[in-house]
Amino acid sequence: MSYFLKRSVLLCSMLVLILSLAGCQQVSDARAEFCTNLRDIGAKAVELKAAKIDEPISKYQATVDDLAAKRRNIQRLARLTSIEAVDKLDAALDKVAQAYAEFKGGVISPTVDKLTTAAGELEQTYNDINNAVCAAK
């Protein structure tokens, strides 16, 4: 082989290696961000699960809003990393949002059981996905 051909093959090989490593890094970063957002969702589930019957609804508005934002991030990151467990998480987040939307008056009392049950399901879903996707990585 000529010197020029050897050098071209070497440069092409290095370019392919660099591009593949850059792609892996992006997926790895997205997975790490996914896991961070997932842990935040797990913490919010624990917070909602501890809701008390006499607390004002407004105490949990920021938590519910944050869950909605985390949901959008999780969905985007799951697409980037090909994580398929998001449907189960979406369903659990829907239950929390529905339970929260049912609040009447200024205190949680009428729907506290629905909220804490939905939050418990969200926490379990978090644990399942975290164990399958994040803990093993």
Residue 11 has pLDDT above 80, yes or no: no
Residue 1 within any structural domain of the chain: no
pLDDT greater at residue 84 or residue 50 = 50
Total structural domains in the chain? 1
Encode pLDDT of 12-56 as tens digits.
Answer: 555 554 444 444 446 578 889 999 999 999 999 999 999 887 887
pTM of the model: 0.73
Rounded mean pLDDT, 57-68: 87
Task: Give the CATH number for residue 81.
Answer: 1.20.120
pLDDT greater at residue 124 or residue 23 = 124
Confidence (pLDDT) at 6 = 63
Q: How many C-beta neighbours within 10 Å does residue 74 have?
A: 24
Confidence (pLDDT) at 120 = 95
d(CA 75, CA 14): 34
Range of the domain at 101: 26-134
Confidence (pLDDT) at 110 = 66
Residue 5 within any structural domain of the chain: no
Q: What b/e string do you get for 105-129 counting C-beta neighbours within 10 Å, with b at 16 or more? A: eebbeebbebbbebbbbbbebbeeb
Residue 62 has pLDDT above 80, yes or no: yes
Residue 51 within any structural domain of the chain: yes
Whether the CB-CB separation of 114 and 99 falls below 8 Å is answered with yes
Rounded mean pLDDT, 97-116: 76
Determine which helix (DSSP H) or strand (DSSP E) holds 69, and give its type and residue range. Answer: helix 61-81
Q: How many C-beta neighbours within 10 Å does residue 20 have?
A: 10
